[in-house]
Amino acid sequence: MKSPIIVNVENISKSFANNGQVKQILKDISIDINRGEIVSILGESGCGKSTLLNLIGGFDSASEGQIIMEGQKVTHPSRKCIMLFQDYGLFPWKTVQKNVEVGLEVTNANPAERLEKALKYLRLVGLEEKVHLFPHQISGGMQQRVAIARALAIQPELILMDEPFAALDTFNRYYLQDELLKIQSQERTTIILVTHDIDEAIYLSDRILIMSSNPGKIHKELTVPMSKPRDRSSSDFQYFRKIILEEFHFNRPGVPLEYNI
């Protein structure tokens, strides 16, 4: 049975005025996001991936069209939808535990309840022994796990991730991809991920939206029905990699195969 739709993006276009000229960034984008799925948005730099993510999160408004989340038009940011960035956004003067509690401070939860929830999600991301450390005392991968725990503690309906693992080395990135899959399978949180990494998109996603540019459009949609976790060396994985490389014209004689775009 198909999961209910949580987000409807309906005929979205976005333009910016610059020095008296109007530049169209996105044109006529319509997508549905199902509850509990991971959807990656893949495309070259400048195609409008992050702009689309900001529109879905309510951090910017569309020039045309509308975005509906759970039956309500998105007009501003809300606690139902959380954005994660590359830079983690942790407060350097707060401990790991206190960073996770930040999002809970505007709720009705008392200090004991905030602590209990923070510890629950720090255990979920494997950082229960780091609660009293400060961000500068832990690695970049751990800092991103703190950011994920903080987002989960608010219990959002949707998590938006803008290149969240791009600043990490390959081993940390692979580890966090596996951790994200474990967490998402337990929490059933819906995730929309912007990435330049083809392998990351295939490894994580139930669907991949490939964008073209000038202006940004959804050029192709791929459903990835492979079971998770996925084997990066399998023939099925290579099949999807080949399709995507061909979409970006990388799989041609004399053109080097680059997996980050």
pLDDT of residue 243: 92
- What b/e sequence results for 226-235 when a residue is b if at least 16 CB atoms lie within 10 Å of its CB, and e otherwise? beeebeeeee
Record the tokens describing residue 49, joined without a space.
């991936």
Phi/psi at 208 (nearest 5 deg)? -125, 125
Give the position of tokens 């929830």.
Answer: 117
pLDDT of residue 62: 92
Q: How many CB atoms lie within 10 A of CB 79?
A: 12
For residues 12 and 52, the answer to whether their CB atoms sit within 8 Å is yes
Q: Is 46 left (phi over 0), alpha (psi -120 to 50) or beta?
A: left
Helix (H) or strand (E) holding 139: none
> Which of 116, 174, 112 lies closest to 141 in space, CA to CA?
174
Tens-binned pLDDT, residue by residue, of the chain (261 aa): 567 999 999 999 999 887 878 888 999 999 999 999 999 999 888 889 999 999 999 999 999 999 999 989 999 988 889 888 777 788 999 999 999 998 788 777 788 888 998 999 899 888 989 999 999 999 988 998 898 888 888 888 899 999 888 878 888 889 889 988 988 888 889 999 999 899 999 999 999 999 988 899 998 999 999 999 899 999 999 999 999 998 877 544 444 444 444
- The one-letter amino acid at 133: L
pLDDT of residue 124: 87
What is the signed CA dihedral for 126, 124, 174, 147, rounded to 10 degrees? -90
pLDDT of residue 1: 56
pLDDT of residue 2: 63
pLDDT of residue 250: 54
Cα separation, 26 vs 218, in Å, equals 9
pLDDT of residue 175: 87
15 forms beta bridges with: 24
For residues 164 and 84, the answer to whether their CB atoms sit within 8 Å is yes
pLDDT of residue 85: 76
Report helix, strand or coil for 32.
strand
